[in-house]
Amino acid sequence: MDEAQLYPLRFEPIYQYRLWGGRRLSSLLSAPLPGDGPIGEAWVLSDRTDHQSLVANGPLKGQTLGQVMEKHREPMMGKLSSRFRRFPLLLKFLDAHEMLSVQVHPSNDPSELNSAGDTAKTEAWVVIEAEKGSQIYAGLKSGTTAGILRESLRDATIAEHLVSVSPKSGDAIFIPGGTVHALGNDVMVFEVQQNSDVTYRLYDWGHIDLETKEPRPIQVDQAFACIKFGASDSGLVEPRVETTEPIERERLFDCSAFLLWRVVGPDKFIVGAAAEPRVLVGIEGSGQIMHNITPYALGKGDVWLLPAEAGECAFQPRGEVTLLEIAIP
């Protein structure tokens, strides 16, 4: 295949068993859920060695994202091609029926990583659905010290020392590396994160794994080595409106690992950018990406990777649509 023919790519979701998961991802994604157990995550764009996304459309169908990156890195990544051999983001939908463990991810200190070649893990969530009792914890309350936090693990009062959010659909939550966090009680989110799978659990609410019949491992010392005590920019963010015509475009996240906008409206608009890749995520409604006069249908739950060489593309909604657009700084 000629590199000049690279085109918008859609990938098959990779479903992940999680003891805290549910079955609601079936209402968001068209691929059927496996089995009848709890599915907590759908990895919708992954260049992880152990979980490779497979292209679902066009001449590259069946190839992994890693293979596409290896064979077509320059047309895929454009001006970013010299910086990244792997695609640097991992994208997921999460169905947190029960509470996730209280956990923390590493920031930029290599000493915090438990796996050679892995990276820091800053992430962010956009809430898709939430119920009356849904809960998100993002960061420590002011004045919480390492000593106080350790004591709260012993007497199971850790939730009293976490910043709590009662989420609603559309909320945006930022979780930089080093932030103590959790979510659950029937909340579904879209997650964008650095391409890392390093997580340290502080507390697991007494969960017993259905597969092993045992509690999951806790990594308190590793977690404490990562936690950033004191002031933080974690938690609920205020969207910044950039345009209102012909559609509303608001920036939700802007950090060193990723940028993310929410685009809402019924009228034709432009997606993508010259010489850099973009990712589009369908949240509500549907429409078509137009590339080289070819339409690519995007609906709720669909994720499309626009290669750098695709440049700007027109998006034609079918009525009101809500998309997320993601860039790599």
Extents of the domains making up the chain: 3-236, 240-327
Rounded Cα distance between 50 and 65, Å, is 12
Cβ contact 16:191 at 8 Å: no
Phi and psi at residue 25, to the nearest 5°: -65, -20
Share of the chain above pLDDT 70, in %: 96
Tell me if 3-236 shares its fold with 240-327: yes
d(CA 29, CA 319): 20
Fold that domain 3-236 belongs to in CATH: Jelly Rolls (2.60.120)
| Residue 170: strand, helix, or coil | coil
What is the rounded CA–CA span in Å between residue 300 and residue 233? Answer: 30
Contact 136, 164 (CB under 8 A): yes
pTM: predicted TM-score of the whole model, two decimal places: 0.94
Please tell me whether residue 140 adopts helix, strand or coil conformation.
strand
Confidence of residue 110 (pLDDT cuts 50, 70, 90): low
| Stretch 180-189: mean pLDDT | 98
- CA-to-CA distance for 149 and 144, rounded, in angstroms? 7
| Residue 8 and residue 310 in contact, taking contact as beta carbons nearer than 8 Å | yes
pLDDT tens readout for residues 241-281: 999 988 999 999 999 999 999 999 999 999 999 999 999 99
List the single range of 104-113, 177-186, 257-266 with lowest mean pLDDT: 104-113
The verdict on domain 240-327 having CATH code 3.30.300.10 is no
The pLDDT value recorded for residue 197 is: 87
Give tens-digit pLDDT for 308-318: 999 999 999 99
Sheet holding 287-291, edge to edge: 269-271, 313-317, 287-291, 294-298
